[in-house]
Structures are given as C-alpha cells and as structure tokens.
C-alpha cells in the first residue's frame, strides 16, 4: 500500500466515529508486531517514535525501517513523531521523513507554547507535514532533569483560540490520563472532552492510553477522541513474555515478545473500533 499520512487516517476516523491507535516502536520486533496486528484486523494504524526514545532508536536506524514497513503493509499505516521538545530534533525529524510530528510545548508557559507551536506550524506545513500540539499537560513524563510533568487539564475555552493562533492540525488534550503506569485509578473528565470537541474541528488526541479500561476507551472515542497513544502496555506485554520464558534463546525470546506485543495491539485495535476500517 502507499504510505498514508496521519491527517487522512484521522479524517476518516473522525467521520466514521472510531479511534486510531498510535504506537511507539524502538525496534523491528515492535514495528512488525504493530503492522501484523493492523493487517490481521484490516485496521488503520499509526506508528512512530519520540525524542525521549532517541538513545534507544536513532532516527537514521528506525525511521527508514518504519517507512519501508508502512509502504509494504496491507493496511493503512502512517509514520508520526511523538513528543518532541527541541527545534534541533524537529529538524532531524523533517529530514528523516516523518509525515507528521508532535511538538510538545506543554512544559512551557501558555504564551510560549502558543508562540513556538505557531512558528513550528509555519515550518512543517511548508514541507507538507502535519503538526500535533498539546494544550494543558498530561502528566507522567519526565524532563532531562528528572522533573515529572504535572497534570494540567485542558481548558475548553482556550482550545479554539489555541488552534486558530498556532495553525496546529491535531490537538492533544489533558482530561485525566497519565503517561506510564497509573498510581491510582484514572478518572476521566468526559464532559470536559465533549466541551473541547464542541469547540474545535481538529482531530483530538488522547495520550497515556495504557492502563485505561475498555469503557474508558469507548467513552473517550464517543466523546470525540480520534487518536489514542499507547506504549507502556505494549512493552509490558513484551516483557511479560520474556519473563515467562527465562530459558528461551535470544532469538526465540524476540519472537515470543513480538507475538505478545502483537496480541496486546490487536486487543487495543478491537476496542478502538478500527478493525475492518482499512
Ligand atoms: P502510555 O505509555 O501511558 O501508553 O502513553 C503513551 C503515550 O501517550 C505516548 O505519547
């Protein structure tokens, strides 16, 4: 299949009311697990990586592998760059060939988030690349100093102005999810999500998809989420498979982990309602 971009994949999801999974990959086994899951279910999918994963998966190794796998896939696959904070990384990403990128200005002041997101939108749009930005802050990630991001809920009253002033194509919202393993049961603010949905047209993105219940996913998709980011649950599935087979050889372990990550991905895609939507 031809390489898809996130804009066309999410436009269809929004029109038909299902969610599309976004999954970070750091090696071939993860890429293959995601694409085989999407092909098995006839589902669109978005794969990618993030600035924080660069030490494990440099762009020059992982991006050509993702692009080639996406082009060969028998399901629609887009390649997207997740959380990125530095201009230098964004420039590297544009050269590497991502179809869309996330600039995460949620650690900055509101004014700086607006200003920097708008400047980056002008650059990436000139190259035909889509831009995801975050308004509010989804907690759970740590910066270079080890400081953990705080949870700041997205203010629905600010969403339309943010998109208008920045020109961003996709909006990541903070409605009670958290990156990584939840320390307490998540309580999602669905009324807030619906208010944001009513205020803007852009596809909305839910970060911190691991650890949510099937009902949480259904409620957020009903409330207007088009893209759901999942990472932790996938690597935990891979790790579990390795722990369950401590005597497996390295290569057998890779296959076991890949199969477990594929199954974990299949489960998510089914709940998101994207199966059969390719
Ligand atoms: P989890 O690791 O909590 O699934 O979050 C993934 C994510 O939001 C990546 O941007």
* 26-77 pLDDT tens trace: 999 999 999 999 999 999 999 999 999 999 999 999 999 999 999 999 999 9
Q: Which atom of ligand 1 is nearest to the CA of 210?
A: 4
What average pLDDT does the chain have?
Answer: 97
187 versus 1: the higher-pLDDT residue is 187
CB 142 within 8 Å of CB 153: no
Cβ burial 245-268 (10 Å sphere, 16+ → b, else e): eeeeeeeebbebbbbbbbebbbeb
CA dist., res. 175 & res. 136, Å (int): 9
Determine the average pLDDT of the residues in 190-195: 98
Return the active site residues. Answer: 82
Output the CA–CA distances (angstroms, integers) from residue 43 to 67, 166, 234, in the order listed: 17, 31, 17
| Ligand 1 pocket, mutate which of 83, 151, 208 (most atoms under 8 A from CB) | 208
pTM, full prediction = 0.97
pLDDT tops 80 at residue 245:
yes
Please list, in sequence order, all residues whose beta carbon lies within 8 angstroms of the beta carbon of residue 207, skipping any fewer than 6 positions away: 134, 138, 172, 174, 177, 179, 229
Ligand 1 geometric centre to CA of 212 (Å):
11
| Ligand 1 pocket, mutate which of 84, 229, 238, 239 (most atoms under 8 A from CB) | 229
Ligand 1 geometric centre to CA of 83 (Å):
10
CATH number assigned to the domain with residue range 6-272, chosen from the 4 options 3.40.50.1820, 3.40.50.880, 3.30.70.100, 3.20.20.70:
3.20.20.70
At residue 1, the pLDDT reads 76
Q: Which atom of ligand 1 is nearest to the CA of 179?
A: 3
At residue 107, the pLDDT reads 95
Ligand 1 geometric centre to CA of 174 (Å):
12
Residues with CB under 6 A from ligand 1: 82-83, 179-180, 207-210, 229-233
Output the CA–CA distances (angstroms, integers) from residue 240 to 84, 212, 233, in the order listed: 29, 19, 10
Per-residue model confidence as pLDDT tens digits over 79-136: 999 999 999 999 999 999 999 999 999 999 999 999 999 999 999 999 999 999 999 9
């Amino acid at each position: 299949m031809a390489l898809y971009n996130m804009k066309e994949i999410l436009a269809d999801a929004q029109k038909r009311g299902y969610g599309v999974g976004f999954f970070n990959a750091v090696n071939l086994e993860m890429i293959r697990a995601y694409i085989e899951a999407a092909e098995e279910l006839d589902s669109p999918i978005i794969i990618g990586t993030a600035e924080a994963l660069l030490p494990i998966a440099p762009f020059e190794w992982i991006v050509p592998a993702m692009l080639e796998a996406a082009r060969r896939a028998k399901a629609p696959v887009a390649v997207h760059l997740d959380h990125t904070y530095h201009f230098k990384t964004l420039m590297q990403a544009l050269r590497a060939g991502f179809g869309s990128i996330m600039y995460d200005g949620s650690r900055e002041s509101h004014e700086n988030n607006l200003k920097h997101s708008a400047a980056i939108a002008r650059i990436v749009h000139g190259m035909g690349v889509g831009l995801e930005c975050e308004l509010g802050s989804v907690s759970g990630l740590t910066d270079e100093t080890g400081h953990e991001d705080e949870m700041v809920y997205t203010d629905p009253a600010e969403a339309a102005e943010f998109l208008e002033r920045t020109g961003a194509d996709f909006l990541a919202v903070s409605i009670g999810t958290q990156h990584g393993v939840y320390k307490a049961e998540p309580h999602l603010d669905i009324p807030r999500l619906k208010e944001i949905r009513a205020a803007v047209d852009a596809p909305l993105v839910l970060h911190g998809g691991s650890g949510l219940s099937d009902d949480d996913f259904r409620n957020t998709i009903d409330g207007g989420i088009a893209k759901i980011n999942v990472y932790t649950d996938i690597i935990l599935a891979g790790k579990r498979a390795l722990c369950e087979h401590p005597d497996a050889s390295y290569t057998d372990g890779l296959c076991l982990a890949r199969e477990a990550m594929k199954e974990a991905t299949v489960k998510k895609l089914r709940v998101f309602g994207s199966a059969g939507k390719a």
